[in-house]
Amino acid sequence: MKSPAAKTGPLLHLYCVTRALEVSVGKAAVIYAQNGTDTLLPCTFTACIGFENAKFSWTRNGTEIFGGTIKNKDSKPVPSSKSEAQEVDKYMLPEITLLKDSKEYNISILILDVDFSDSGKYTCKVENPKEKNAKHNATITLQVVVQLEKVDNTVTLIILSVVGGVIGLLILIMLVKKLVLFILKKTQEKKECLVSSSANDNTENGLAGSKAEQKPASKA
């Protein structure tokens, strides 16, 4: 009989094969940056079985601008020779980090003092020898602008105010309804109490409709 570990082994292998090496630059297809600012271009890669001597590179419009190798998750990236000079002047790679509770490794690149010539398509590529030299890449577009547009939240605020007002009005109507029902109930109870008291008084005073005892008529 196979042990539980033996049964889960193939499943784990299948899970790793289906995921294999993946590279992601986030959900945003375009990043807008103001001229003269430092801009971070995100990139993470996932290696289900880990990695050894992984090769990575960043290209802009097809031309490599930065690259290097990473021995393992505990090692710092080693820039390639053609990237070393550029790294000091223009590009910086934050220390690789293992994101919490996952197998994603961060190789985002920081572009210092961006200008309009930095606009273009940036591709993050990774090759992992541990996964039979599996390769994967992802592309993101950088658009450098004079000034970032301010988001106008006026419409959103108006919608939220209207919705809030409607909800508040409905709550007020419900409270008024409950108050009216409560008053009507109390009024009805008071009327019933008065009618009952009046009937009792009439009975005690021997008025019409009372059950006061009468002497039987004498027989002739």
| pLDDT tens digits, one per residue of 73-90 | 777 777 776 554 444 467
pTM of the model: 0.57
pLDDT in tens, 133-170: 888 999 999 999 998 776 566 766 778 788 888 888 88
Which residue is listed with tokens 């508040």? 168
Q: What is the pLDDT of residues 171-210, one digit of tens each?
A: 888 888 888 888 888 787 777 766 666 665 555 555 554 4
Q: Which amino acid is at 144?
A: V
Region of residue 117 (phi > 0: left; psi between -120 and 50: alpha; otherwise: beta): alpha
By CB atoms closer than 10 A (0-12, 13-18, 19+), residue 179 is exposed
| 32 vs 208: CA distance, rounded Å | 95
| Polymer length in residues for the chain | 220
